[in-house]
Chain A
Amino acid sequence: MPRRLWLRTGLVVVVILGSLWYLYPPRRAINLGLDLQGGIHLVLGVEVDKALASQTDRAAQELKGALERKGIAVTQVARDSDTSIAVQLASPRTWNDALTVASELGTFERRDEDAAAGRFRLVLSPKEVSRLRDLAVRQGVETIRNRVDQFGVAEPTITRQGEDRILIQLPGVQDPERAKALIGKTALLEFKLLDERTSVEDALAGRLPEGSELLYQRRVDKDTKTERRIPYVVQKRTLLTGAELNRAEVQSDPNSAGNWQVSIEFNATGARIFGEVTEQNVGKHLAIILDGNVYSAPRINERIPGGRAVITGQFSVDEARDLAIVLRAGALPAPVKILEERTVGPSLGADSIRQGLIAITASAVVVFLFMLVYYRLSGAIADVALGLNLLILFACMAAFGATLTLPGLAGIALTIGMAVDTNILIFERVREELRIGKTPRSAIEAGFTRALRTIIDTHLTVMVTAAILYNFGTGSVKGFAVSLFVGLAASLFTAYFFTRLLFDVVFVRRRTLASISI
């Protein structure tokens, strides 16, 4: 006699109710992958070595300033690799004083000392190097998350991948180019003085004074779409960066109609430095530089208190808005490079959903009919179990917040085929037991018991493969693995446990059971 019928029925009812609970409301319950709803998938590589180099550059500048303040003359303080600084003193007599100053640069270790020649190198310790690399990637993730949040994308994914990569998924973005520009911009804002000792012509001819460099301003002619590059000779020394910004807002440009500008406001420290810089350099030109491009180089007419400035540059309103976003979110600690990009337009996604649903429906209908014709009433039981399998599958995906992708839809279609395998195994076994003359009741008992071991073996092997797929796969392959895995786990419950329950209810409970429809 069937054991604990009510308990088992209760469990099935709980599972069905739970599934329905997670699937309500259906439109919002299941996350659709980028290939189904359209959007961008990006993998960025953080050029961490450049973050190290700029850190080392900053340390070299700091050291140079500290040595000069102590009155120690040097002929060279310069970065000679991503993580080291070479120092050459003007005279070996200042050796001990120089070492004292250098030792204040805590994170560096002294190497290749040559007291007689007054020469040494400072090298970042390996521990510090790995800390800085890690920091650069973590800050990169934070900054990009900030930017994306301000740009306004529903449910973005921004995570670190491996050592120096960042994975970004933006579902439903309409203008991928703009989103990419916003994310990928380093957005390093710098204020530097123009070097007015040298003419631009001299600099272009290759006569650049030490401590200065050539930078360009890009100007696009709105009518002809041609780009002009205007050269400037700029001092290398950075006076102030975007790190000291408090606010950045979009304004219309009062001097040129139809163009927009970004007004910025420094924090207290920034405002103080800005005041000092403008006070000390009245009459000179201050270049506003973003990612190595000069945006403008206005003349300083007087000391500017309060720490306000304006960035102009023929911006459209979208460009100005995006620039304000990246300035507010801050600069990336290191430049990033796009390693992988997948953009799917919304219309293609809609097509894929339609095709995937057709495939699932067709697959289900074929299998349903086949089982019904071949196994009759037992086939109908298997069909009900299959229906429950699909319900649980979708509910699990909703509950775990798993993403449904196009290969995921294929995985579901395949699950349908494999889930009935369990029922076929059982039914064939029951038929076999009937053939050797067992009563229907004991044939059902034997059929279910004997098939169980095989069923567990087959499910485990495919679930192992699905787990491997999930571990090694990327994006869409992962989606396939998830639906296959969940579908199989659900099939253990529905095709075995639930089918057995239905058999008990439909056949075994009858007082007399002369034959079964199988």
Chain B
Amino acid sequence: MIELFPNPNYDFIGKRKWAYIISAAFTLVGLISIVLHGGLRYDIDFTGGTLIQVRFEQPPSVAAIRASLGRIGFGESVIQQFGDPREFILRIPLTSSGPEEVGRQVQRTLTADASLGKLEVRRVEFVGPQVGRDLQLQAIYAVLAGLVGILLYIAMRFDFKGGVAAVVAVFHDVLVCLGALSLTNREFSLPVLAALLTIIGYSVNDTIVAYDRLRENRGKLAHQKGTTFAQQMNVAVNQTLSRTILTALTVFFSTAVLLFFGGKTLEDFAFVLFIGVITGTYSTTYVAAAIVVDWTQYVEGRVRRPKKAVAKA
């Protein structure tokens, strides 16, 4: 029988102060990167604009494409190689004059430019300003609705402290993922949003497994007498450790495969999942469980202290 952790008894909860520093550091680095980049880079799904994916027969230079686009006044567009050296993505900001014409204009101009050779337009996406704003709002609603749903569910199944701690953990994961997105200069798009929501689900999943175990153990009171809440939590985390690591590994494999073999279109999506699985697993113990422990100890401390005050008087 192969066993990763035959009888784990690590002191996870005892080291939570260090974990707080690490979590804060990672979150902060991400936030600083976002601020330095002047906010997240939004995909045209959110900003509005036109995206054109072109495959050329011969790999062209970016400068040649830019020169060609410059002739119709789109010289400022973002031109990006996309996977294959012959494949490019052109992002053209919203224009005032007939935005739906942009795709056709670009296609005509590039085709007419003999220096670029033959080409095939593989994808055109146009998002008008109205739709872009709607999608932005929907994205925020979706994340908020996800978080509120989770808070309610855990508050109902366990207790309020657990719900809040789980949401803080999830929030931490989202921030770390957004930070990673910003650090690697990737764009926030609809698939990235979907990945974030999946990570929310995954992270909560993990937290619930630990909570469930804690509750089960606390049911057997005789077994637990004389232990502090922190110790009980540590036992629960250790008991679920092999499951946590094994599951994290299988999901991690799946996302790694997506990231490395899923192709360019899925890359950002897989990247967020990849980072999210790591931080989601980490945050179960070091954010959610740690907060529940400190909160419970704080409340217990306040219950005891007034008694002392009475004794003094």
In contact, B257 and A366 (Cβ under 8 angstroms): yes
Select the stretch in B68-76, B149-157, B172-180 that faces chain A.
Answer: B149-157
Residue-by-residue, is B189-212 near A (CB-CB < 8 Å gives 1, otherwise 0)? 011011001101110110011001
In contact, B201 and A347 (Cβ under 8 angstroms): no
B37: Cβ under 8 A from any A Cβ = no
Known: A341-B125, A342-B125, A359-B257. A481 touches B194 (CB 8 A): yes
A458: Cβ under 8 A from any B Cβ = yes
In contact, B149 and A464 (Cβ under 8 angstroms): yes
Known: A344-B122, A356-B262, A370-B253. A461 touches B197 (CB 8 A): no
Interface of B is mostly: helix
Give complex CA distance A38, B212 in Å.
Answer: 46
Most chain-B Cβ atoms within 10 A of its Cβ — which of A359, A453, A466, A518? A359
Known: A367-B253, A450-B216. A462 touches B131 (CB 8 A): no
A340: Cβ under 8 A from any B Cβ = yes
Residues of chain B from 115 to 136 with CB closer than 8 A to chain A in the complex:
120-128, 130-131, 135
Residue-by-residue, is A467-496 near B (CB-CB < 8 Å gives 1, otherwise 0)? 011011110110011001000000000000
In contact, B263 and A352 (Cβ under 8 angstroms): yes
B289: Cβ under 8 A from any A Cβ = no
Q: Please indicate the chain A residues that have their CB under 8 angstroms from the CB of B131 in the complex.
A: 43, 339-340
Known: A340-B127, A373-B2, A454-B208. A428 touches B246 (CB 8 A): yes
Residue-by-residue, is A341-378 near B (CB-CB < 8 Å gives 1, otherwise 0)? 11111011001100110110011001100100110100
Select the stretch in B24-32, B140-148, B291-299, B300-308 that faces chain A.
Answer: B140-148
In contact, A464 and B103 (Cβ under 8 angstroms): no
In contact, A362 and B130 (Cβ under 8 angstroms): no
Q: Which of B141, B209, B257, B263 contacts A425 (CB 8 A)?
A: B209
Residues of chain B from 38 to 78 with CB closer than 8 A to chain A in the complex:
53, 55
A13: Cβ under 8 A from any B Cβ = no
* Whole-angstrom distance between the Cβ of B252 and the nearest chain A Cβ: 8
Known: A352-B265, A367-B250. A414 touches B198 (CB 8 A): yes
Q: Which of A344, A366, A410, A471 contacts B270 (CB 8 A)?
A: A410
By size class, the interface of chain A is: 35 or more
A156: Cβ under 8 A from any B Cβ = no
In contact, A355 and B243 (Cβ under 8 angstroms): no
Give complex CA distance A461, B202 in Å.
Answer: 9
Q: Which of B124, B254, B266 contacts A343 (CB 8 A)?
A: B124
Give complex CA distance A107, B208 in Å.
Answer: 61
Q: Which of A343, A418, A461, A465 contacts B123 (CB 8 A)?
A: A343
Q: Which of A345, A376, A417, A464 contacts B250 (CB 8 A)?
A: A417
Most chain-B Cβ atoms within 10 A of its Cβ — which of A348, A465, A471? A465
* Whole-angstrom distance between the Cβ of B257 and the nearest chain A Cβ: 4
In contact, B254 and A414 (Cβ under 8 angstroms): yes
A104: Cβ under 8 A from any B Cβ = no
Q: Please indicate the chain A residues that have their CB under 8 angstroms from the CB of B126 in the complex.
A: 338, 340-342
Give complex CA distance A344, B266 in Å.
Answer: 15
A432: Cβ under 8 A from any B Cβ = yes
Residue-by-residue, is A421-434 near B (CB-CB < 8 Å gives 1, otherwise 0)? 10011001001100
Q: Please indicate the chain B residues that have their CB under 8 angstroms from the CB of A362 in the complex.
A: 257, 261
In contact, A477 and B193 (Cβ under 8 angstroms): yes
A406: Cβ under 8 A from any B Cβ = yes
B104: Cβ under 8 A from any A Cβ = yes
Q: How many residues of chain B have a CB within 8 Å of chain A?
A: 70
Give complex CA distance A407, B272 in Å.
Answer: 13
In contact, A355 and B261 (Cβ under 8 angstroms): yes
A270: Cβ under 8 A from any B Cβ = no
Q: Please indicate the chain A residues that have their CB under 8 angstroms from the CB of B247 in the complex.
A: 420-421, 424-425
Q: Please indicate the chain A residues that have their CB under 8 angstroms from the CB of B246 in the complex.
A: 374, 424, 428
Residue-by-residue, is A312-351 near B (CB-CB < 8 Å gives 1, otherwise 0)? 0000000000000000000000000111111111011001
* Whole-angstrom distance between the Cβ of B220 and the nearest chain A Cβ: 12
* Whole-angstrom distance between the Cβ of B209 and the nearest chain A Cβ: 5
In contact, A363 and B120 (Cβ under 8 angstroms): no
Known: A410-B269, A450-B216. A417 touches B255 (CB 8 A): yes
In contact, A465 and B263 (Cβ under 8 angstroms): no
* Whole-angstrom distance between the Cβ of B174 and the nearest chain A Cβ: 13
In contact, A45 and B258 (Cβ under 8 angstroms): no
In contact, B255 and A414 (Cβ under 8 angstroms): yes
A112: Cβ under 8 A from any B Cβ = no
Give complex CA distance A56, B265 in Å.
Answer: 49
In contact, A359 and B266 (Cβ under 8 angstroms): yes
Known: A345-B122, A450-B216, A477-B190. A458 touches B261 (CB 8 A): no
Q: Which of B2, B139, B255 contacts A374 (CB 8 A)?
A: B2
Known: A347-B120, A348-B53, A362-B261. A474 touches B130 (CB 8 A): no
In contact, A461 and B208 (Cβ under 8 angstroms): yes
Q: Which of A338, A359, A406 contacts B128 (CB 8 A)?
A: A338
A457: Cβ under 8 A from any B Cβ = yes
Residue-by-residue, is B237-264 near A (CB-CB < 8 Å gives 1, otherwise 0)? 0010011001101111111011001110
In contact, A359 and B250 (Cβ under 8 angstroms): no
Q: Please indicate the chain A residues that have their CB under 8 angstroms from the CB of B224 in the complex.
A: none
Q: Please indicate the chain A residues that have their CB under 8 angstroms from the CB of B194 in the complex.
A: 407, 469, 473, 477, 480-481
A387: Cβ under 8 A from any B Cβ = no
Sample (15) of A-B pairs whose CB atoms are under 8 Å apart:
A340-B128, A341-B126, A343-B123, A352-B263, A356-B263, A358-B261, A370-B250, A370-B253, A374-B246, A410-B269, A414-B254, A417-B252, A461-B208, A468-B197, A480-B191
Q: What 14 additional pairs, Cβ within 8 angstroms, besides A454-B208, A469-B142?
A: A345-B120, A355-B262, A362-B261, A363-B258, A367-B253, A413-B257, A424-B250, A454-B212, A454-B213, A460-B153, A472-B138, A473-B190, A477-B190, A481-B194
- What residues make up the interface of B, taking CB atoms closer than 8 Å to A? 1-3, 7, 53, 55, 99-100, 103-104, 120-128, 130-131, 135, 138-139, 141-142, 145-146, 149-150, 153, 157, 190-191, 193-194, 197-198, 200-202, 204-205, 208-209, 212-213, 216, 239, 242-243, 246-247, 249-255, 257-258, 261-263, 265-266, 269-270, 273
